[in-house]
Structure 1
Amino acid sequence: MKPKFLVVFLKELTDNLRDRRAMVLLLFMVLLYPVMYGFLLNSLITRAGKPEREGIELVVIGGAQAPTLMAQLKQKNVIIRESGPMTEQAVTDLLHEHTVVAVLKLDKHFAEHYQAMRPARVELWFDSASENNAKQRELEDVLRDYSSGIASGRLLAHGVSPTTGLPIKVQRYDTGTNASRSATFLGALLGMLFLPVFICCMSCAVDSTAGERERRSLEVLLAQPASALELVVGKWLAASTLSLVGVTLELVLTHAVLRWLPLEELGMSWRLSGLDLALLCLVTIPLALLAAGLQVALAMNAKSFKEAQSTLSFVTLLPMVPAMAVPMLGLTTASWMYLVPVLSNLTLLRELAKGQDVGWLPFAMTFFSALLLALLSVAVASRRMQSERYVLSV
């Protein structure tokens, strides 16, 4: 004979799986984030390599006065278009067409000032509202290098070492790995991966509590030879199953997308292994149990189906709090973070993505902290179901 809570579990799970529209909507929510995540990163990778592939379109006015500068620009894959004198309005209109990255204007007295060793003015016109910020910075770097080269040559011509103006030389060493940079960059976005934990179980939690009470099927269920705890546990496990399947599918898809994308072009990498992913999914089980238990308990305290939906819609925003708070507050990884549900899962994911050996303690803290709160939620819901006030919607 099957345990009574298992009978309730199978009944609630079957009822929810029969609702094809709800299942399709949940599947869409699960697939949406990995697809958007992959599309965003792929766009960043494409834009990062775009200047090298396409070159930089530059309009130059008076370029004949500085042949060495023109040669240096061409060496940096800058496509030069010579032009005659242009008014300010003409330059502005040209840049607003977004056909060129910038316009370089050399003063008409550039050659005279250059020969007299006076500052020769160069104007760089660009549109900061365009999507060519990376190309603009490359042009500025070329002009800066050209100016530094001229200054060094003039100092040498006068018997002065160019290093005289540099009494201190700073040598920078970056010990950050590609994995640590990627975890820092992707950290805020990764927090949204746990959103399906609260979304996928919401319809089941509301329908099996407030929905049954409004349909007047709750009295029939309570008349069966099953305790309130067995009824609550069955409903809780059904909602938890949907939650766990949703978040596991999203984690696996996101992992596959990040492994497939060439993150090395952005100076990043994804170090999460298959074993790390399996352990992460394992410690996410109590989080799914907590989300379902919390939503079942809150839905049972609502007086109507609509009130339950409104209340639980705020609960689904809980995963967004640590995802936004940690980057904004600049918090570093600490042991107490593994005791806070959702934040513990996010912190564990970030540390694993860095390739860090976190040990067994963070996994245990993440697992049992959420599990204890989940059991507490079920106990509260079970006590609520035993009350006549719940059955009578009081």
Structure 2
Amino acid sequence: MSRRSAIAVVFFKELREILRDRRALGLVLMFVLMYPLMVGGILQQQISRAMEPEKEGIELTVIGAARAPTLMTQLKQKNVNVTESGALSEEQITALLRTQKTAAVLRLSESYGDDYRAMRPARVELWFNSASEARYKVGDIEHVLRQYGNVIAGARLLAHGVSPATLYPVQVQKYDTGSSASRSAQVIGTMLGMFFIPAFFFCLSSAVDSTAGERERRSLEVLLAQPARPIDLIGGKWLAASFLSVVGLTLELLIAHSVLKWLPLEEIGMSWRLSWLDLAWVLLTSLSLPLFAAAMEIALAINAKSFKEAQTTASFAIMLPIVPVIVVPMMNLNTATWMYLVPVLSHQTLLRELAQGQPPGLLAFALTFGGSLLLALLCLAFTVRRLKSDRYLMGI
């Protein structure tokens, strides 16, 4: 039997067992849907929040509204629903805000009218709950109050023959050259790594069961007694586990891309302009990640004495590729060449650069693919060497 046919026999044997394992298939289905829907849900919530004030308006309770009719008119023009209220104590205001029926409470001091007419600063108290879901609406209310104060200041200066421009000795004009695609990649960039992490979970059950599971069931020694080299046995198991991970990762990225294309990201000033051709390149480059994931888990599981021990060890090892994905965005580092050599982080960086509309170049694709493939081959070589060890064979 040739080496190629031996690997094929082991591959199809392991593949048949994977297809019979409902637990492995259920795990694949769960992760295929979970991450795209989770990211889509987070973004949809942001879109809904951004559109909610325009549709429903901002609820504001005002104490002493009759003292500032012009201010009330300006608030209503800015889509703020003003609800007048009588005098409330601090405890009552706090209790009202905890109900989350109003975004904030605006209390005008009793001397507001006298201070306004005397051109003294008229005190206005803005009460809000920073732990409330409506806390982001408080900024809109503060913006209206600042505009109202500027209008009054300008009118008073004109009454004294002074130009309102005196208040603004420097005029700053802002020009944002960032595209919606760039903003999208920056905001969604921290989430992109989540799309590649499941590659390690897709093959976890099959990789552990085909090594530590067979060792625990005493069927691994039967396989080793067959006229096949250790590289043939490990190679077949590795390819079968990798195949499951490749299928799961491909389906997950296709669903994630479709979800991001479908979401109205323009409502929050973003867009997802990754083309299907770009996605095809990402999928092709990502083929080496499942190969590394399966090889690493098999290398860890082959040394475990039980299925449970192997699963625990592999689960902890999966956390290692996740660390750079979390730490690097937190440190706000600029894209560097070394990032394309770190599994998962390289795929996250590559996808983010493509989403920004900035093709990273062939070197980035080569390093992303080659970095994971090199680690996969090293893990595979370690496993084969371990399987050839007389000390290991004696322990089976």
* TM-score by shorter chain over 0.5: yes
Amino acid in structure 2 at the alignment position of 1:158: H
Query: Structure 1 residue 4 and structure 2 residue 14: aligned?
Result: no
Q: Which residue of 1 aligns with 2:369?
A: 367
Please state whether the residue corresponding to 2:133 is helix, strand or coil.
Answer: coil
After TM superposition, the structure 1 stretch with the greater mean CA deviation from structure 2, 11-20 or 156-165, is 156-165
Give me the CA root mean square deviation.
Answer: 1.6
Q: What is the CA–CA distance in structure 2 between the aligned matches of 1:139 and 1:327, rounded to whole Å? A: 32
After TM superposition, the structure 1 stretch with the greater mean CA deviation from structure 2, 77-86 or 30-39, is 77-86
- How far residue 391 of structure 1 moved from its aligned partner, in angstroms, is 2.5
After TM superposition, the structure 1 stretch with the greater mean CA deviation from structure 2, 383-392 or 144-153, is 383-392
Query: Structure 1 residue 297 and structure 2 residue 299: aligned?
Result: yes
After TM superposition, the structure 1 stretch with the greater mean CA deviation from structure 2, 49-58 or 85-94, is 85-94
Match of 2:223 among 210, 221, 224: 221
Q: Which residue of 2 aligns with 1:191?
A: 193
Q: What is the CA–CA distance in structure 2 between the aligned matches of 1:293 and 1:97, rounded to whole Å? A: 54
The CA deviation string for residues 339-375 of structure 1, in whole angstroms up to 9 with x for no partner, is: 2222111110110111112222211111112112211
Q: Which residue of 1 aligns with 2:392?
A: 390
Asked if 1 retains the 8 angstrom alpha-carbon contact of 2:193 and 2:325, the reply is: yes
Q: What is the CA–CA distance in structure 2 between the aligned matches of 1:183 and 1:350, rounded to whole Å? A: 5
Please state whether the residue corresponding to 2:257 is helix, strand or coil.
Answer: helix
- How far residue 210 of structure 1 moved from its aligned partner, in angstroms, is 1.4
Match of 2:170 among 168, 171, 182: 168
Query: Structure 1 residue 23 and structure 2 residue 48: aligned?
Result: no
Asked if 1 retains the 8 angstrom alpha-carbon contact of 2:24 and 2:202, the reply is: no
Q: What is the CA–CA distance in structure 2 between the aligned matches of 1:165 and 1:314, rounded to whole Å? A: 60
Query: Structure 1 residue 342 and structure 2 residue 344: aligned?
Result: yes
Asked if 1 retains the 8 angstrom alpha-carbon contact of 2:216 and 2:305, the reply is: no
- How far residue 15 of structure 1 moved from its aligned partner, in angstroms, is 0.7
Please state whether the residue corresponding to 1:105 is helix, strand or coil.
Answer: strand
- How far residue 10 of structure 1 moved from its aligned partner, in angstroms, is 0.5
- How far residue 230 of structure 1 moved from its aligned partner, in angstroms, is 1.0
Asked if 2 retains the 8 angstrom alpha-carbon contact of 1:198 and 1:315, the reply is: no
Superposition map of 1:181-330 within 5 A = 181-330=183-332
Asked if 1 retains the 8 angstrom alpha-carbon contact of 2:197 and 2:344, the reply is: no
Q: Which residue of 1 aligns with 2:382?
A: 380
Q: What is the CA–CA distance in structure 2 between the aligned matches of 1:245 and 1:390, rounded to whole Å? A: 33
Match of 1:38 among 21, 37, 40: 40
Please state whether the residue corresponding to 2:287 is helix, strand or coil.
Answer: helix
Count how many residue pairs are aligned between Structure 1 and Structure 2. 394
**What fraction of aligned residue pairs are identical, expressed as a percent?**
60
Match of 1:131 among 129, 133, 151: 133
After TM superposition, the structure 1 stretch with the greater mean CA deviation from structure 2, 334-343 or 275-284, is 334-343
Amino acid in structure 2 at the alignment position of 1:15: E
Please state whether the residue corresponding to 1:3 is helix, strand or coil.
Answer: helix
Q: What is the CA–CA distance in structure 2 between the aligned matches of 1:370 and 1:95, rounded to whole Å? A: 52
Please state whether the residue corresponding to 2:320 is helix, strand or coil.
Answer: coil
Amino acid in structure 2 at the alignment position of 1:107: S
Structure 1 outlier segments of 4+, above 6 Å: none
Please state whether the residue corresponding to 1:104 is helix, strand or coil.
Answer: strand
Match of 2:110 among 96, 101, 108: 108
After TM superposition, the structure 1 stretch with the greater mean CA deviation from structure 2, 219-228 or 273-282, is 219-228
Q: What is the CA–CA distance in structure 2 between the aligned matches of 1:372 and 1:87, rounded to whole Å? A: 68
- How far residue 267 of structure 1 moved from its aligned partner, in angstroms, is 0.8
Q: What is the CA–CA distance in structure 2 between the aligned matches of 1:346 and 1:194, rounded to whole Å? A: 8
- How far residue 173 of structure 1 moved from its aligned partner, in angstroms, is 1.4
Match of 1:71 among 67, 70, 73: 73
The CA deviation string for residues 31-66 of structure 1, in whole angstroms up to 9 with x for no partner, is: 111111111111111111111111122222222222
Q: What is the CA–CA distance in structure 1 between the aligned matches of 2:392 and 2:196, rounded to whole Å? A: 31
Q: Structure 2 stretches of 5 or more lacking a match? A: none
- How far residue 392 of structure 1 moved from its aligned partner, in angstroms, is 2.7
- How far residue 283 of structure 1 moved from its aligned partner, in angstroms, is 0.8
Asked if 2 retains the 8 angstrom alpha-carbon contact of 1:284 and 1:345, the reply is: yes
Q: What is the CA–CA distance in structure 1 between the aligned matches of 2:200 and 2:257, rounded to whole Å? A: 20
Q: Which residue of 1 aligns with 2:159?
A: 157
Q: Which residue of 1 aligns with 2:58?
A: 56
Q: What is the CA–CA distance in structure 1 between the aligned matches of 2:369 and 2:304, rounded to whole Å? A: 29
Q: Structure 1 stretches of 5 or more lacking a match? A: none
Amino acid in structure 1 at the alignment position of 2:394: L
The CA deviation string for residues 304-344 of structure 1, in whole angstroms up to 9 with x for no partner, is: 32221121011222332122011121111111211222211
